[in-house]
Structure 1
């Protein structure tokens, strides 16, 4: 009877354990990270009884998690990619919103350039000039606002980087604590600890790309995409944040040794923040600044080629900040660098690092691409439309970051306040001598160098013969001379002319300051023509074209980010579905199991009851 009783008791115990496990599954059906548990039963080892053996019941070997290493790892990878895509799309959406909320720069530029046409058509109307200044002010406001929006997002991204690193450190610390509990449990690790472990790893993968390795004792080691260990056994290794060596407002990520690893991290929210900041936001800020520099430089230059209503050479209409030069906080020498933009047509949207190796200065983009420099006779260096002036004594290893256009859009300002200062008239004109006998003519005088001190001084272009020319100043000094052929350009004092027709011997033309400033609006037309004039990219791209490229870039980033989010979300859902098909709780299945184990429990109870009845009958018979 004892054998039958023990068999029933083992079945009762096994059924009770299974029912408890099913109940636990049902209770945790909505628990994030919970893995369905199942009871593993084995037949109890039977004892030999002569020529036959009778079973000894059932043993509960373990309560196992429904788990797949492969599917769980795939889910971690999908989580990292989806979190990155979500964060990146959010940032790109904010960028597009900034572009819309800051006002339509395209319309502001169109209005600005168009206002010069109005000035040209109504040269004597003061309101036309005032309206032109108003349009200039509006363009500056849109540039400033858009630049401020981009700068604000830079600050937000830097703050998010720090917050994300703090979250990574917190999760890593919690994971190390769970690892310690798993190790202490020995060979009988509670399933809830393993679920906690995997759930923390998945949370960590949402913050940054990781690789994870399960150790023989059930603990897990986790490494960031940079190679830094985040968790190993019961120890966590905190990441750090610090200031960029050049820009103290820029947050960098450092490993636990203090080494900057921002460029090595990928995946997750942190990877998205770093990638977006370095490859999108920096670039659009620089592109917008590049357009602001082009606007200021081209308009100011054209202004200097004309005369205002006071009969003076046109002054600047805009001002823009000079390139930002940031010394490294690791510099040991006393060297200093200043930078200026000397050729806008060669200006790019890149930032640079100028470094000293102990013998030579070298220039490279912040991405590490070497940029050739030209050494100038005055000791300066030139490259990509920039000129660098050096002072002090640098030591080997010293470096400076150059941001040519980063601050230009926020710093663009309208410096002209008097509408009469708009240089609508040409600076110079040519007057043919009355005694001329040839059919040569000079239509307009082109200003080549508005900075020439003698630009507005009078000069005479004469032709001693039909095949020679001579330029003299008001005192008779010869400024230029040589042979002449029809269509040839003649230059002096920062101006040039290209006579048409064929001048006769002794013909001459007087070159002097324009005295018809009120009625001559040729320079206003030239200012209006800047809308289509190539200023950037070697003189092939106008300011309006540059802004169009910027909007296209931002639109493309947003479109790609949205498309990638859709793709990654789909892949995540597939990975989650596959993992849950193994580890997830199915209520219908659990309900069926509950009925099955309940019946097994009742049947085992009946076995015990039967054993008791037989035993009682045997005792009664023996007593009779």
Structure 2
């Protein structure tokens, strides 16, 4: 092979290497960009000295193990971050002074105690009614706020499901493009970076098992093995509200015309939403509703055994329904049945009412405790869970930072290294062009000899 062609191959190869270096430098700050290397190899011709050089491949510098760790870390951060935020909101709700059921009960039973001084006093009776109304409002306000948070969790779930479906569609198109480029011998590095970025986003929303092949084929499955994607065919997620709670839902996966009902831990943000609804929020709602029902029942039972100022049988002060609503019935001051013997000055029923505050009851999520302690225990559990969620977030974020640093150290662009490569390839390119110039001079010398 002629010196001219050998030098031309060298110039072409180093120009390609310069293009790869320029691509790296241009994307030094691009999220998820993996640096590339132009691998050069000598072209051997057994009949001659050699046939020059060529770019045998453009290598994407990436470690699949680190990439897999990065996805797992994103799943943990997605889950712990959402849990920390939702528990922090729940902690603020139950810790609000306006929703402090213990304080409301103390106030109500305090007015009961004061009424014992003069059971027939309209002023004391009015205070009992006022504090009863205030306590009912605390229960209902807290219950409504918890319901609103449940609705927000449901809205976040629907948004995340929509994002998952969008990412699965994009991943299917990306895999199709990678396989097409691979089959014609093209460079898939940039496409693979984009696909890995999408996989990281998807992993933050839910846990996915990933299987990749060198030719660009990609298979994704859920934590329980149900398929999410096979190359260019993607599944779609949908939700069906539960009859028992319209804000909670079953998740269905539709793949290739077949429906699967998902069961197990979703992981990521979707898993955290499910935990927040079915565990954290449900526990508080269960305790609050059990408190309201027990409180209304015991107060009404005591009043039913007494007579009011008109000598009539006692009427219930509260009503409670299965939706968690506690209402104060429209009683007048003289309809409060505080007397056990029909005499206006008798206040034995007030003593029974006061005993309610000191009696232990079986309250969901709290055990056998008095009503005031039940709420305090619930608040304490939320606070502990919130602190633990923040600790989990801190540790998972630290781990993600470590894995990201490992990935960047291996795959990230090093400006000093690329600057050195720029000089090396430039000098090599210029040297090969010098050889071509020399070859031309030799050719011209030969021509001038005739």
TM-score, normalised by the number of residues in structure 2: 0.92
Pick from 506, 522, 534: which aligns with 2:360? 534
2:46 equivalent in structure 1: 47
Q: CA deviation at 1:543?
A: 0.9
Which is richer in helix?
2
Which string of whole-angstrom CA distances, capped at 9 and with x for unpartnered residues, describes residues 554-595 of structure 1? Answer: 212211211111111111111111112111112222222212
CA RMSD between the two structures: 2.0
2:315 equivalent in structure 1: 315
Which is richer in strand?
1
Q: CA deviation at 1:167?
A: 1.2
2:328 equivalent in structure 1: 414
2:381 paired with 1:558: no
User: Equivalents in 1 of 2:286, 2:259: separation in Å?
Assistant: 29
1:294 equivalent in structure 2: 294
Secondary structure of 1:593's counterpart equals: helix
2:94 equivalent in structure 1: 99
**Bigger radius of gyration:** 1
Q: Equivalences for 1:234-249 in 2 at 5 Å?
A: 234-249=232-247
Q: How many residues align?
A: 442
More deviation, 241-250/607-616: 241-250
Pick from 240, 253, 262: which aligns with 1:255? 253
Q: CA deviation at 1:158?
A: 1.7
1:37 equivalent in structure 2: 36
User: Equivalents in 1 of 2:214, 2:134: separation in Å?
Assistant: 68
Which string of whole-angstrom CA distances, capped at 9 and with x for unpartnered residues, describes residues 358-395 of structure 1? Answer: xxxxxxxxxxxxxxxxxxxxxxxxxxxxxxxxxxxxxx
1:158 equivalent in structure 2: 154
Pick from 146, 170, 176: which aligns with 2:172? 176
Secondary structure of 2:148's counterpart equals: helix
User: Equivalents in 2 of 1:314, 1:592: separation in Å?
Assistant: 93
Q: Equivalences for 1:384-463 in 2 at 5 Å?
A: 407-408=323-324, 411-425=325-339, 427=340
Preserved CA contact (<8 Å) 1:536 1:543: no
Pick from 73, 76, 100: which aligns with 1:78? 73
Pick from 565, 575, 580: which aligns with 2:403? 575
Q: CA deviation at 1:187?
A: 5.7
Q: CA deviation at 1:37?
A: 0.7
Which string of whole-angstrom CA distances, capped at 9 and with x for unpartnered residues, describes residues 131-171 of structure 1? Answer: 11111111111110110011111222222222211111111
Which string of whole-angstrom CA distances, capped at 9 and with x for unpartnered residues, describes residues 505-541 of structure 1? Answer: xxxxxxxxx25x3333232133123222112259931
Which string of whole-angstrom CA distances, capped at 9 and with x for unpartnered residues, describes residues 459-493 of structure 1? Answer: xxxxxxxxxxxxxxxxxxxxxxxxxxxxxxxxxxx
Preserved CA contact (<8 Å) 1:123 1:521: yes
Q: CA deviation at 1:78?
A: 0.7
Preserved CA contact (<8 Å) 1:298 1:535: no
2:331 paired with 1:518: no
Pick from 585, 590, 608: which aligns with 2:418? 590
2:216 equivalent in structure 1: 218
Preserved CA contact (<8 Å) 2:118 2:345: no
User: Equivalents in 1 of 2:442, 2:395: separation in Å?
Assistant: 68
Q: Mark the CA change 1:249 to 1:573 in structure 2 (over 3 Å): closer, same or farther.
A: closer
Preserved CA contact (<8 Å) 1:47 1:56: no
Q: Equivalences for 1:274-289 in 2 at 5 Å?
A: 274-289=274-289
